[in-house]
Amino acid sequence: MASPRLYPARSPTRGALDALKDDVKDKAKALYVKLHDLVRRRLRGNASAEVILSEHQADPQTYAAPLAKKLAEAGAGGDAELVAAARALMDLVDQAGARSGKYNVMIGDSKGIQVGDGNVQANKF
């Protein structure tokens, strides 16, 4: 089953947020807090997913793929509010990427998939 990418592979960094105008910066921070809360609620009760979400805060690049897997297993792609929050955040912090469709990623029945920029991967199937 395909699902859109729901959580940024990289959290909005201080530098990325600093580059935004103050009103947009405040809105981006609020949207990120809302998205994180929706993700946390979606993963509630799954101890390993909760740990991965916590670790993602400190090291987004390392934990992006495990978090995406847990979100997919939790059916987050079917959560309209969560998907809308993720899209709203990405529309705000990367308008050019959002317009080009960069965040409209659909993956189904696949192995060894990476989504994002600057990835390195070694598969052994």
Task: Report if residue 67 sits inside a domain.
Answer: yes
Task: Report if residue 124 sits inside a domain.
Answer: no
Range of the domain at 21: 14-100
In percent, the amount of the chain with pLDDT more than 70 equals 74
Task: Report if residue 5 sits inside a domain.
Answer: no
List CB contacts of 67: < 8 A, sequence separation 6 or more: 7, 49, 52, 53, 56
Task: Report if residue 94 sits inside a domain.
Answer: yes
- The better pLDDT of the pair 85, 97 is held by 85
Task: Report if residue 48 sits inside a domain.
Answer: yes
- Residue 107, φ and ψ in degrees, nearest 5: -130, 135
- Indicate if the pLDDT at residue 87 is higher than 90: no
Task: Report if residue 70 sits inside a domain.
Answer: yes
User: What is the pLDDT of the chain when averaged over all its residues?
Assistant: 80
Please tell me the total count of domains within the chain.
1
Task: Report if residue 8 sits inside a domain.
Answer: no
- The better pLDDT of the pair 31, 117 is held by 31
Q: Supply the pLDDT for residue 31.
A: 93
Say how far apart CA 59 and CA 32 lie, in whole Å. 16
| pTM of full prediction above 0.75 | no
